[in-house]
Amino acid sequence: MSLLFGLEAPASSDNYGAEKDEAREIQNSLMPCGTLRNASIEIAYRFAPFAEVGGDFADFYVLPNGIAGLYIGDVVGKGLAAAMYAALVMGTLRGINKTDEQTSTVLATLNKRLLVRPVLGRFATTLYAVYDSTCRELTFSNAGMPYPLLASGSECRQLQEGGLPSGMFPGSSYDTHRVCLSPGDSVLFATDGLHELQGANGDDFGWRRMGEIWTECQGMSADESLQRLLREAKDFAVGGLQHDDITAVALKIPRR
């Protein structure tokens, strides 16, 4: 087990250490290059693998029609094998998600393609979302990911919609969910490694604590919000252990 946000275990050989370094560089190259920021939206992320590489994945971008898209996911398992499957999922998604299809169609197609050549014991929870700034509408479909957290004004609530994981069952279909956002609203997408993070006394970081912190982050930028949230998580876990990969994506609607 590694401490939160990654103390590396010593390599057993120079060659093995070099291979791990290369695998980490390849995985990092698949993740977003930085923060997406324009007049209508701001999206940032943080990625903290349990080991040198991990099974979490995320990406965000602007589609040809000007709509912002994002996805985040978590492959069952950890380490290099999980990272390889995560790369497969990301590559498959990248061949689907830029065709202006509905979010539910994207996840249904992902599930179908992953099952064409199934990998025994491997599947992924995946959430795909798009944000249309012209009507301030967030649309998403969820294949087994933890529910997103929406902070709006003084309230924070889970967007409780979900479905079956990707690459698990043939014929899976997914609902499409929509929520209207207002200037100043922020949505947190995170893998379960965050809310299940354990402190020294064995308690989980938990949804309530996450919601309280996320509400307090309003007025901050997406990067500042994630920095605050993960600093709180790290302080909580002092003396505890990180048991899973942690990935978080923040979507913020700027105040006018």
SS3 letters across the chain = CECCCCCCCCCCCHHHHHHHHHHHHHHHHHCCCCCEECCCCEEEEEEECCCCCCCEEEEEEECCCCCEEEEEEEECCCHHHHHHHHHHHHHHHHCCCCCCCCHHHHHHHHHHHHCCCCCCCCCEEEEEEEEECCCCEEEEEEECCCCCEEEECCEEEECCCCCCCECCCCCCCCCCEEEECCCCCEEEEECHHHHCCECCCCCECCHHHHHHHHHHCCCCCHHHHHHHHHHHHHHHCCCCCECCCEEEEEEECCCC
Residue pLDDT, tens place only, 65-121: 889 999 999 999 888 888 889 999 999 998 887 666 799 999 999 999 999 989 988
Instruction: Give the predicted TM-score (pTM) of the model.
Output: 0.89
Residue pLDDT, tens place only, 53-63: 778 999 999 98
The CATH number, out of the four listed (3.40.1710.10, 1.10.1060.10, 3.20.20.100, 3.60.40.10), of the domain defined by the range 14-252: 3.60.40.10
Range 33-57 average pLDDT = 87
Share of the chain above pLDDT 90, in %: 60
Residue pLDDT, tens place only, 13-26: 566 567 667 777 77
Residue pLDDT, tens place only, 119-143: 988 999 999 999 999 999 999 999 9
Residue pLDDT, tens place only, 211-237: 999 999 999 999 999 999 999 998 888
In the chain, where the domains are located: 14-252
